[in-house]
A and B are shown apart, each in its own frame.
Chain A
Amino acid sequence: MMDHILSWVVFLPITVIPILWLLPANKAKWAALFITIVDFIVAIPLFTGFDRLKVGVDDLAGMQFKETLEWIPSLGIQYSLGVDGISITMILLTLIIGLVAVLASWNIDKLQRGYFAMFLLLQTAMLGVFVALDLILFYLFWEVMLFPMYFLIGVWGGPRRIYAAIKFFLYTLMGSVGMLLAIIAVWYYAPGGERTFNIIELLHRVQEGGTFVGPEIFGMPFAKVVFVAFFIGFAIKVPIFPFHTWLPDAHVEAPTAISVILAGVLLKMGTYGFLRINFPLFPEVFVWFQDFLVALAVINIVYGALCALAQSDLKKMIAYSSVSHMGFVILGIAAATTQGINGAVLQMFNHGTITAMLFLLVGVVYDRAHHRRIAGFGGLASVTPVYAAVTSIAYMAAIGLPGMSGFISELLILTGSFKVYQLPTIISGLGIIFGAGYMLWAYQRIFFGKLNPDYQDLKEINFVELCSVVPLIIITVYLGLLPNRIIVFFETSLNYLSEIL
């Protein structure tokens, strides 16, 4: 079993789907909870057995827990899984967020079996994306994630869910089709040797000095067009301005647990794609693109923060804060320094946990009050003190208070990018200040001040909800004080990656 541990980890969630229909509808959530916990336990050997010294970015021998099977020999497509530093961090994140999201779905009351079936399929797809080493397998997992999201938002979401769901679907699919054409082009015009879809093999050849030599497409150099096609596909997911407009709608209309998954994991798939595929495959084009990318990152940070400041809906505010925080990730990657990239991946992990917390907490109050207007609340701290305390920790983490994980990652990113881009880094600092602005202001309007008489008997945060939030808090504080525990996982791989870029 150790040989195929990755396959087990990836496919365990969907094994339970047929069983869901043997259970009564309201017991389906227990099956889902059970399998996510089992999945996490099964994955523990991955983390304990992970060799932190192996690099693995473009070196097949350095990838760990590899599995390879012939799948479609005529095209050279293989079922190929493996992890290195970047992937292992994302796997950890996905497993934790998946578990937390199941707890957050405890109150789903219609078509529960369908909900958890789609949820588990989504979980498998997300895990698969992070371990796939073959371009077509990667693409398959990437796309499989789309239609469960459509149903999860469209059936169980808020009032404008149909609009939000189809917008998400079409937007992401548009990027993905561009990505598919780019994948085929990369395969066809691959440098040196036999044609292959294997990502690591391709990276290896690029490192040996191979470049993609292809015909001009619409009059533009081949490598640049393919790079941009990949870029747009991943940028829509991150999301990078101006491809971010699907995010506020999708986040607001999705049910709480889906917002958690969306913000916690899905957004990271975009940046993962950058680090794994887009930038290392085209190092010279990346250099050409760097300045523009930094500009986009800064726009994300500042514009996202300003939009958040202007929101009156709590969930939309957090959605825009997500845009802003992902901007930091992009800044770190664009700077391409050791600290920058390390900070970026750390920020990916941290933002996943922190934003998940934020959405969970919004869900708590939405379940009770059935609205999310910031101005509609007031003085909740006197009625629900535990909730207020938990939320304050979460908000402090989001701001980037030292002692919480967010601080470390943002620090690393800013230090890393200051070396190369001074002015953008300074402007990004504004983003942090705005972040503090909207978070504290929202907190004050909701919890402090005069108690809104409507909410005098608001129910306190209950056990299940606490169970979903507390683990994340613990992780945040732990990593805030001992970030090295997780940095060691991806350090070696990322240091190597930053050298490549």
Chain B
Amino acid sequence: MVEMTSTLPYLSYIPAHLIMGVAILVFFLAKAIPGLKNVSPVGIFVLVLIAGFVTELMMGSESKSLFFNMLQVDSYSRFYNQLFFIIIGVTVLMMKNNDEMNRSIEWEVFGLLSTICLGMMMMTSATHLLMIVVGIELVSLPSYILVALNRRFSTSKEASLKYVLFGSFATGIMLYGISLLFGLTGTLQLKSLWPALAASPNFGTPIYYIAIIMTLAGMSFKIAAVPFHFWCPDAYQAAPTPITAFLSVAPKVAGLALIMRFFADHVPVQSEQLSMIVSLIAMITMTLGNFAALRQKDIKRLLAYSSISHAGFLLMGIAVMNEVGRQYVFFYIVIYALMNMGAFMAIIYLSQGRNFEIKSFAGLIKSKPVMVVGFTICLFSLAGLPPFGGFVGKFYLFWVVIEKGFWALAAVAGVNSVVSLYYYVGVIKTMIIDEREGQMPDFSTQSSVPIGFVILCAIPIVVFGLYWNPLVNLSALVHMF
């Protein structure tokens, strides 16, 4: 019989969640609160983000299981949450420098972003299958709306609808998988699920695999892994670019963190099969993402497929199913966030929110050399070329895979690294080598904040490419429980 203790004391362990909860209310009701209507929402939202970040930072280093083992607060969840706040802050910066979104709905947009933030924090803390569903849905539903908000392209509504349908489909499959897991074991707690699965008479039978894979469906949907990636290129292309940037980093990272936590409690006897499942998904995702990106002519679609292939690389780090793998996935995620945000900010600036064809970037080295060099550094880093941070991330992922002896996975990842170089270099070539026909676009109306931001992203990328000790030490602090 479960003792009915009050759950209120648990709330003191999740201050950031509370802050976001209040923020959601404030932002959605803002237009009805007298006096608040005329305040700038950006300032309030930035304050909220800072408050959230600081509370997460101040939490010390304890680990606690909350709400009857539904949420787990530990250094793992804290580091990822801090990352989310930073990423959302950058998204706000992008929104300020971009006019694809309607300014009059800023309150609502920030409310939606707050909801996503709360959902992501739940995803990183979830230790119960239903909590996982709550977290994923809290992130997905507002994202559907955010994708539709591009006032330049009417296709954004169509993309959003694809996203909604696909997302519901994936969540449906996941719920069915969860029900199968419950049927097999009688528990929904991750901690007791895996031992129960290993001990159950159905261990190793097809139903065992089907249940796990179906549950993975919802999570793969969030990280856009194959075969649940179909929504990704369309949604990324049609969404307002700040939202694309946000989607390509934050929910993806949350999804990966969730998958790592999902598999964390597995029993050693299961590790070989689970590794095989994840390796297979990783290989297919990497390959499909890279080869599809080769033919893209739109920069946002190209980065969408590139983010799909990066999810594949990160799954490689998850496939080794050990602590070291998880730490180096965090390492790569930090660098990935830097590279991707830098690249998207550069796109926002160089495209001026209008023309996203790669051709339209031709010859921009002559007009905006600093921005183009910063963008080039981000792109080379995405390709995994030394001496940039992206290479170090890939190096560590190769390292954990070879340590475990997954030769096929390492070989596939290696080939994919080389293939990916081609499309990144294609963009760089257009900017630096090609001659521009027609006039150079006029950048005088744009502020130079994006240029500063891209340089601020490029510098750590180069530094981490040469001396990455501080980040390794940071990753070593990230562990579960």
Contacts and interface: CB of A to CB of B under 8 A. Distances in A.
B433 A184 contact: no
B383 to A, nearest CB: 9
Interface in A128-158: 139-140, 143-144, 146-147, 150-151, 154-155
Interface string A167-210: 00110011001101100110010000000000000000000000
B44 interface: no
Nearest to A161: B433
B433 A181 contact: no
A217 interface: yes
A74 interface: yes
A154 B433 contact: yes
A72 B469 contact: yes
A71 interface: yes
A226 to B, nearest CB: 11
Given A143-B385, A184-B398, A215-B405, A177 B425 contact: no
B386 A162 contact: no
Contact of A177 (B405, B418, B432): B418
Contacts of A147: 380, 385
Contact of A181 (B385, B411, B467): B411
A218 interface: yes
Contact of B386 (A72, A139, A184): A139
Nearest to B399: A184
Contacts of A215: 405
B410 interface: yes
Contacts, number: 71
A393 interface: no
A217 B407 contact: yes
A155 B414 contact: no
A177 B418 CA distance: 8
Contacts of A139: 386
A200 B422 CA distance: 35
| Dominant SS among interface residues on chain A | helix
B379 to A, nearest CB: 11
Interface in B365-405: 380, 385-387, 391, 395, 398-399, 402-403, 405
Interface string A64-83: 00000001111100000000
Contacts of B263: none
B468 interface: yes
B124 to A, nearest CB: 25
Contact of B467 (A71, A154, A169, A184): A71
A166 interface: yes
Interface in B232-257: none
Contact of B410 (A73, A170, A181): A181
Contacts of B421: 169-170, 173
Nearest to B384: A177
A215 B472 CA distance: 28
A170 B422 contact: yes
A162 B402 contact: no
A72 B472 contact: yes
Contacts of A166: 422, 425, 429
| Dominant SS among interface residues on chain B | helix
A166 B418 CA distance: 11
Contacts of A75: 399
A71 B387 CA distance: 15
A29 B417 CA distance: 35
B407 A150 contact: no
Contacts of A178: 414
Given A72-B468, A139-B386, A147-B385, A181 B414 contact: yes
B391 A185 contact: no
Interface in A227-278: none
Interface residues of A, number: 31
B386 A140 contact: yes
Nearest to B386: A143
Contact of B387 (A74, A140, A150): A140
A143 B387 CA distance: 8
Given A181-B398, A181-B410, A188-B403, A162 B418 contact: no
A167 to B, nearest CB: 11
Interface string B406-437: 01101100110110011001000100110000
Given A147-B380, A177-B417, A169 B425 contact: yes
B385 A146 contact: yes
B386 A144 contact: yes
B414 A73 contact: no
B425 A181 contact: no
Contacts of B405: 215
Nearest to A145: B386
A240 to B, nearest CB: 19
Interface in A410-436: none
A174 B418 contact: yes
Given A162-B433, A180-B414, A181-B411, A73 B469 contact: yes
Interface string B422-461: 1001000100110000000000000000000000000000
B422 A180 contact: no
B102 to A, nearest CB: 41
A155 B433 contact: yes
Contacts of B407: 217-218
A228 to B, nearest CB: 13
Contacts of A143: 385-387, 391
A204 B425 CA distance: 40
Nearest to A143: B386
Nearest to B402: A184
A181 B398 CA distance: 7
Contacts of A162: 429, 433
Contacts of B433: 154-155, 162
Contacts of A144: 386-387
Among B421, B422, B468: residue with most chain A CB under 10 A? B421
A73 B399 CA distance: 15
Contacts of A71: 467, 469
B223 to A, nearest CB: 24
A73 B470 CA distance: 11
Contacts of B425: 150, 166, 169
A76 B255 CA distance: 33
A74 B396 CA distance: 12
A132 to B, nearest CB: 13
Contacts of B398: 180-181, 184
Contacts of A170: 418, 421-422
A154 B386 contact: no
Nearest to B380: A147
A151 B385 CA distance: 14
Contacts of B472: 72, 74
A233 to B, nearest CB: 11
A75 B387 CA distance: 18
A445 B287 CA distance: 51
B395 A180 contact: yes
B155 to A, nearest CB: 32
A218 to B, nearest CB: 6
Contacts of B391: 143
Interface in A260-305: none
A162 B387 CA distance: 23
A146 B417 CA distance: 15
A185 B402 contact: yes
Interface in A13-34: none
Contacts of A218: 407-408
B470 to A, nearest CB: 11
Q: Which 10 A-B pairs have the closest CB atoms?
A: A143-B386, A177-B414, A174-B418, A184-B402, A217-B407, A173-B418, A154-B433, A140-B386, A144-B387, A184-B399
8 contacts: A75-B399, A147-B380, A154-B432, A170-B421, A177-B418, A180-B398, A181-B411, A188-B402
Interface of B: 380, 385-387, 391, 395, 398-399, 402-403, 405, 407-408, 410-411, 414-415, 417-418, 421-422, 425, 429, 432-433, 466-469, 472, 476
Given A72-B468, A74-B469, A166-B422, 15 more contacts: A72-B467, A72-B472, A73-B469, A74-B472, A139-B386, A143-B385, A143-B391, A155-B432, A173-B417, A173-B421, A174-B415, A180-B398, A181-B402, A181-B414, A188-B403
